[in-house]
A = this chain, B = another copy of it.
Amino acid sequence: MLKGLLSVLLVLVTLSSVMGKPDATTPKKEKRIPQTLSRGWGDQLIWAQTYEEALFWSRSKNKPLMVIFHLEDCPHSQALKKAFAEDKVIQTLADEEFVILNLVYETTDKHLSPDGQYVPRILFVDPSMTVRADITGRYSNRLYAYEPADMKLLLSNMQRALKFLKTEL
């Protein structure tokens, strides 16, 4: 009984992210849809829960870490999330070659906010635990911000994070 219910709930989660419907407004006493670690950034990807966990996986798998800072109710974050989740090349590369983490709260590590704590922003971290502050987007006032139109730049930055890794190690 509970098992069946859980399966249905999990299907609902998948459906709601596929259809882009938020579930934050679900009234308290109705059945809630379990929160996902992906938060809509790619339900088929395997997400780290915390920065500590992500660093652990990055070191042990020798894969660069991509950290996405966002907010659920920020329209820029939502637009970037949609572009990110729908970009199959980026999703596949993230799945195969990166450790990934999306956060709606800042960490205590100041290296993850080289030019401030804004959203959305994306930072890469080497398996050596070095934040790659040199991998930036196209906006000089917010170096780590990306917009939906920047998916090609983001892809090339992901490839840069990988190349650097291969050259250095």
Query: What is A's interface to B at a CB cutoff of 8 Å?
Result: 2-3, 6-7, 9-10, 13-14, 17-19, 31-38, 43-44, 46-47, 49-53, 56, 61, 95-96, 103-108
Q: Could you write out 30 A-B pairs with CB less than 8 Å apart?
A: A3-B18, A3-B95, A3-B96, A6-B18, A6-B43, A6-B46, A7-B18, A7-B46, A9-B43, A10-B34, A10-B36, A10-B46, A14-B34, A17-B34, A32-B46, A34-B37, A34-B43, A34-B44, A35-B36, A35-B46, A35-B47, A37-B37, A37-B49, A49-B103, A49-B104, A49-B105, A50-B51, A52-B105, A53-B105, A56-B105
Residue numbers in B under 8 Å from A103 (CB-CB): 49-50
Number of copies: 2
